[in-house]
Structure 1
Amino acid sequence: MASSMTSGDAAPERILGAATRLFAALGYDGTSTRMIAEAAGLNVATVAYHVGGKRDLYLAVMERAHQAELAVLEDAIAQLGTGPEEILQLVDRYVDFCVENPEVPALWMHRWLSDAADVAHLEAQFVRPLFDLVVAAARKVVPDDVDIEYVVWTVVWCTHGFGTGGVLDADGRRHGLEDPREVARFRAHVRRLVSNAIGLPGGRDA
């Protein structure tokens, strides 16, 4: 069996990687433990031994995604200067993170579409603390009359939507996070949106 070729240390990582890809592509509700086992080259019993059931694995995947995002945002915030234009650097870091980890926005997009409705606590556990962290940092450098909460949500909405749906070319083909040209266009667009929202001079050229 494939499981006999996988060491005890390697199996959990292989399972987690397969589960991340499937949950990102199909959502929690569309993924079965058997599908994860097959993608990992293991049997269901081996998956259960190493990680437990599907819910346990989903929680582990979402925890890992959260920790990766948290590390990037904390580092980006630590490097923020004092001017409002610094927010654009934070936007860039977030877009870069999503380009490098497209499974993360995909995982959260599935939840926006009512996936894994029986796992209801993740927004309070993961999303809200990250959101509050970014908003608190941004408030220190933008004018008081800016609704910074909606600015941050707008970046999240746009980036997750672009990552999932992309844009259509003349032939109806989708281009998103995997397409450097479209990522550059998207980044410039989001920077303009944020620049205009926080009142940076020359926002259209940001």
Structure 2
Amino acid sequence: MLLAGRLFSQIGYDATTIQMISDAAGVPVDSVLAIGTKQQIYRAVLDSLWEKENRFLEELASRVPPGPEGLHILADAFLDFCLENPELPSLWMHRWLADAADIRDLEARYAVPVMSAMADVVRGLGNPDVDPVLAAHGAVWLAYGYAHTGLQFGYARSPDANAPENVRRFKAYFHSLIDCLF
């Protein structure tokens, strides 16, 4: 599944073939098909990543203090999680560009529960005019986008998302957005 997940995250579900998964794994196509169809393998990859993300968020939510400091901790930890698990943001970036469009229930199955959990953490922490669901969506979009592409367009010496200076700069920016909202 790991190799299939890497292929899906690098080139997308639509561009990945069973033959590519077979070649990457160094096994015959029949061995891959014994695991399942491409869609079943894709769902298994998403299931694994979703379970990992969900466990992380549940544990994190239990130790985030209320207020802006807690939101900074949440944002930093979530960004670190995305950088440590780059397949997750990459899969969703592909999805947001209409990859795997024939699979209709992905958002309901994977995204809605995560967004709801994050919105629950955000709810009531500050400005009542801030929609916690939209704030959670915005934070996830920013973290996923950064983890997927790093700093582009010549704003940094290196676009590498994991470069310590880039991570520091992005976290400072993320904190300033949180402070503006809350």
Q: How would you bin the TM-score normalised by the shorter chain?
A: over 0.9
Q: Residue type matched to 2:50 in 1?
A: H
Partner of 2:30: 45
Structure 2 residue runs of 5 or longer lacking an equivalent are none
- 2:111 maps to 1:130: no
Summarize the alignment of residues 5-44 of structure 1 with structure 2, pairs less than 5 Å apart: 16-44=1-29
Contact 2:79–2:147 (CA under 8 A) maintained in structure 1: no
- Tell me which structure has the larger Cα radius of gyration: 1
Query: Are residues 171 and 188 of structure 1, via their aligned partners in 2, closer, same or farther at CA, if it must alter by over 3 Å?
Result: closer
- 2:65 maps to 1:81: yes
Contact 2:149–2:161 (CA under 8 A) maintained in structure 1: no
Instruction: Quote how far apart the aligned CAs of 1:177 are.
Output: 2.4
Partner of 1:13: none
Partner of 2:52: 68
Identity of counterpart residues, as a percentage? 36
Two-structure CA RMSD over aligned residues (Å) = 1.9
Pick aligned residue for 2:147 from 163, 170, 188: 163
In the aligned structure 2, how far is the partner of 1:132 from the partner of 1:121? 16
Contact 1:98–1:104 (CA under 8 A) maintained in structure 2: yes
Structure 1 residue runs of 5 or longer lacking an equivalent are 1-15, 199-206
TM-score (norm 1): 0.82
Instruction: Quote how far apart the aligned CAs of 1:169 are.
Output: 6.0
In the aligned structure 2, how far is the partner of 1:102 from the partner of 1:74? 20
Query: Are residues 181 and 173 of structure 1, via their aligned partners in 2, closer, same or farther at CA, if it must alter by over 3 Å?
Result: closer
Partner of 1:11: none
Instruction: Quote how far apart the aligned CAs of 1:155 are.
Output: 1.2
Q: How many residues align?
A: 182
Partner of 1:31, secondary structure, is coil
Pick aligned residue for 2:179 from 181, 192, 195: 195
In the aligned structure 1, how far is the partner of 2:113 from the partner of 2:155? 41
In the aligned structure 2, how far is the partner of 1:32 from the partner of 1:54? 7
- Cα deviation per residue 1:51-110 (whole Å; 9 max; x = unaligned)? 111111000001111111101111110112233421111111100100100110000110
Pick aligned residue for 1:56 from 40, 46, 57: 40
